[in-house]
Amino acid sequence: MLSAIMEEIKKLRAKAGADVLTANNMAQNHMARKRTAQLRLPDLVRDYRTALSSHILPIIVTGSEASQFAATAKEKTGTAAVDGEAVYAEILSRLPKEVIGMAPKNVSELISRHFSDIAGESGILSYPAINHKSSKGFVVNNTSDLEKFVKKTINSSLGVEISPIFSLRAIAEQALEAEFSGNLFPVLVVVKDESLVDSLVSAYSKLSGASFLLTAGDVSANLNSEVLAKTSETDEEQVLKALTKVKNKMKKL
């Protein structure tokens, strides 16, 4: 199904981007086909994104060098990479500085309002209501408190599963750019907050059927999930070695 959708996207992209050079009946027909292709593409992209979810192979990367590992992998091998905490970062970017010191319930209501906007923009059609009671007793005195508060509010109401659902759009964009139509699309998911790692490994596994965990650099948390590969450095040799382990594991899926 995915390959069929991609083939159709390729055809429509060619038609949508075609130049019309002459003003005759043939050119008018070309213009009509071009317009039709432009109108159909968004629906096909949505279908592609939906179909892609069962082809994604999430590779959670955590540790002090997680971001550098992903950057090196993307540069040297073209492996897709996303921020596993992007949904929280997006909410934080929309909250005004004035929320520091505000009553927790008011902050929670702002988070709910902004997430509603984000969900609409991301194509997330349904989700549980934000539970404002989860904010009770939490004090937001600084940006660090605010980050923790956002994660607590979102995860307690929507579950950590909202993170991979939100990341699907970013993953799909990279898959579309690569014109992927194969069996498994590996994507590195960078998670800096180690307290979320085990939950995200589980959440991504539920979404796609399987996920792997790599560590890069120092890791302070006691992780319960199985670590497929550990790297102390993020030079090309170490990164490729870790990715080779992933490829070997993929063959067994």
Distance CA 171, CA 57 (A): 11
Q: Say whether pTM exceeds 0.85.
A: yes
Give pLDDT, residue 27: 55
Sign of torsion over alpha carbons 85, 213, 59, 159? negative
Greatest CA separation for the chain: 71
- pLDDT, tens only, 63-111: 999 999 999 999 999 999 999 999 999 999 999 989 999 988 899 999 9
pLDDT at 29: 64
Tell me if the domain spanning 53-250 has CATH number 1.10.3470. Answer: no
Amino acid symbol at 155: N
Confidence at residue 22, expressed as pLDDT on a 0 to 100 scale: 46
- Is-contact 135 105, C-beta < 8 A? yes
Distance CA 160, CA 87 (A): 10
Q: Give me the pLDDT at residue 21, please.
A: 45
Cβ atoms 52, 182 nearer than 8 A: no
For residue 66, which amino acid is it?
Answer: A
The C-alpha R_g of the chain, in whole angstroms, comes to: 21
Residues 6+ apart with CB under 8 A from 102: 140
123: closest CA among 178, 196, 172? 172
Identify the pLDDT of residue 98: 92
Sign of CA dihedral 234, 236, 238, 243: positive
- Give the pLDDT confidence score for residue 48 in this predicted structure: 93
Question: Residues 113, 117, 123, CA angle at the centre, nearest 5°?
Answer: 140
pLDDT value at residue 123: 84
Counting every residue, how long is the chain? 253
Q: Which residues of the chain have pLDDT under 70?
A: 18-32
**Dist CA 78 CA 99 (whole Å):** 39
Q: Which residue stretches of the chain are H helix?
A: 2-16, 25-52, 66-77, 86-94, 104-122, 143-158, 162-177, 197-208, 236-250
Predicted pLDDT of residue 20: 44
**Are 214 and 60 in contact, with CB atoms under 8 Å apart?**
yes
Among the listed residues 142, 121, 118, the one whose alpha carbon sits nearest the alpha carbon of residue 130: 118
Q: How far apart are the first and last CA of the chain?
A: 19
